[in-house]
Amino acid sequence: MELTLVANAGANASGAYGEQQVPGSSDDVVIGNANLVSPAVTITLDVASATVNSLTFTTTAVANSLAHSGTNALTVSNNVTVNQPTAGVTVAWNINGGSGTVNGTVAIGGATATAGRIARIAVTTGSASFTSAVNYAANTVAATEVITAGTGSITFNNALTLSSGTLSVTGTGTINLNGGLSFGSANAPVFSTVANSNINFGGSLTATTTALTLNATSNTTFTANATITPTAAITFGLFKVNSTTTTTLAGNITVAGNLTLDGTLAGVFITTLSVGGTTIAANNSTVAGSISTTGAHAINSGSVLTVQTNFSITGAAIVTNNGTVTIQGNLTGSVAGSTWTNAADSSLTAGGSVMTTGTLTAIASPNTITYNSTTAAQTVKGTTYHNLIINKTGQTATLGAASATNNDLTVTAGTLSTAAFTLGVAGNFVVNGT
């Protein structure tokens, strides 16, 4: 049965629905009537739970809406269609509390490129869950077709293609993209976040044509194995990879906020992760590409991080290592003020050059610097160390300037050459190599 709602009314348990009864699970509910120019239809869900077969906001010139609040729940067994109005008004499904669940597809918007003609699904609080595909109309004006969360949550269980329209979080709410997201097209879609909002990816992310920039203090978490493909530039705020999860970079990305790696950040070696923020946390994690930092950073105590290529410090900034870090490539600075500091109880293992430009500070007690490349010679940065280890089977480490250790010097394997420089050792000098 099709139930068309054409007057302002509230559904309630007594059965009153304007002049019609409360819709049931077999009803195809249509809000609005194209033959009526007024008034707008405002429907309020005020029963604890309701199920309908389908839900359509018909194409009209008035601001028809459906709203529910509290803990009231609406389940749509099949499809939801939110058509674009024919005048400068907003047609909306407003979930101001409770929940909305759609088991079929969702279609939103229309083809008219007039900014004031808006089709919208808004989850101010409460939650919305979309089981199947969500399809935006191919409109060139992103503001005409909007899905948005305030402090509520929206879950897309299928992969979402955002090639037009707007997807946004305007508060501390959450968008769960369980099937991943393909973003961008000539229609210039919008995907926006604000401070402390949350985006969770359970699938892959691709940005094509349109650059994607999320708020610098919004949170992005990858909760399942995924690939990030930045054909167009991608900039995250705070960025996290969950434990037992591998996120693969298919190109360079930027993290404007803090970086937290409980899982693995994989990818080809040419990729670069540019990190802003102030902290890097890693739980026995590996970055397959390079890390580039701007501004002061602290690698958190207890972190175990392996960088399979290079770690670069841009500008006169200090990176303080409080954890256990292995850099298989080069540790570099861009200017004399670029500084790597090993804090107390930290360790750095370097497979390439170490701060050829910039400063290495390694006097905290205790801390350890290890030079360990077994495929190439290395130059030992001329500075004062606490503990210095040379572990280079078949290779040579050569002092680049006068150096000293405030504690132990250990040559585990390979050769240590002082060249023409002095090397002072205040603690034990243990030689297993040469």
Domains of the chain by residue range: 1-236
**What tokens appear for 39 in the block?**
């008034």
What digits encode the pLDDT tens for the residues 326-339?
999 999 999 999 99
375 — phi, psi (to 5°)?
Answer: -115, -10
User: Would you tell me how many other CB atoms lie within 10 Å of the CB of residue 101?
Assistant: 16
- Identify how many contiguous H helices and E strands the chain contains and give both numbers: 0, 52
Q: How far apart are CA 334 and CA 323, in angstroms?
A: 23
pLDDT tops 60 at residue 230: yes
Residue 160 CA from chain centroid, whole number: 16
Confidence of residue 269 (pLDDT cuts 50, 70, 90): low
SS3 179: coil
What digits encode the pLDDT tens for the residues 19-72?
456 788 999 999 998 877 778 989 999 899 999 999 999 999 999 999 998 999
61 — phi, psi (to 5°)?
Answer: -100, 10
Note whether 223 and 243 are within 8 A (CB): no
pLDDT tops 60 at residue 14: no
Q: How far apart are CA 21 and CA 4, in angstroms?
A: 11
Write down the pLDDT at residue 69. Answer: 85
Q: How far apart are CA 417 and CA 422, in angstroms?
A: 10
In percent, how much of the chain has pLDDT > 90? 87
Residue 217 CA from chain centroid, whole number: 11
DSSP code of residue 28: E
Predicted TM-score (pTM) of this structure: 0.91
